[in-house]
Amino acid sequence: MGSSEERRALRQRLTGTIERLVEAVGKVDARTIAWRPAADANSIFVLAVHTIGQAEENVVEVLGGEPVGRDRDAEFAAADAAAETVRARWAVVRPRLERVLDGISEAEWERERDHPRLKLAVRGRDIALIATTHAAEHLGHVELTAQWARAAGMA
């Protein structure tokens, strides 16, 4: 697979996964969005906000070189648990992700750079893969949390 096909495939997988996550958030009520299945578990809202923030940081900042000013800790303390908040955030971030992934050169796709959270050097393609797998993991968490909420009589 050539790098342009690889970038396109990763962009589609990343944006498609987050799109599914945003849709899942929109299918539950406000009480369920904020519900935590355990004291140390994350709510659907926190998972969604965190997933979008992580994708933006990895793709736009680490891969694209454009600072985003992410506050990771604030994602886990987020209290404005509303589906519209998630949809609005995604509407801003998605085109930025697509612009970077569609416009990155072959040299930048292959170039190693320091990853701020992993504390190691990774290639551009690996950064896109990290963002994509992370989003898929949290989509699963959101879907399971929604199922637990229904089983607990929340939804």
Please report, for the domain that includes residue 101, its CATH number: 1.20.120.450
Domain that holds residue 12: 3-151
How confident is the model over 36-82, as pLDDT tens digits? 999 999 999 999 999 999 999 999 999 999 999 999 988 888 777 88
Q: From residue 40, give the alpha-carbon distance in Å to each of 8, 34, 74, 92, 139.
A: 37, 13, 16, 29, 18
What integer pLDDT is reported at residue 101 of this predicted model?
A: 95
User: How many domains does the structure of the chain reveal?
Assistant: 1
Q: Is residue 155 predicted with pLDDT exceeding 90?
A: no
What is the crossing angle of helices 124-151 and 44-55, to 10°?
170
What is the 8-class DSSP label of residue 43? Answer: P
Q: Which residues contact 111 (CB under 8 A, 6 or more apart)?
A: 123, 124
Model pTM above 0.85? yes
What is the 8-class DSSP label of residue 40? Answer: T
Q: What are phi and psi of 101, to 5 degrees?
A: -65, -35
Task: State the greatest distance between any 2 C-alpha atoms of the chain, in Å, as a whole number.
Answer: 52
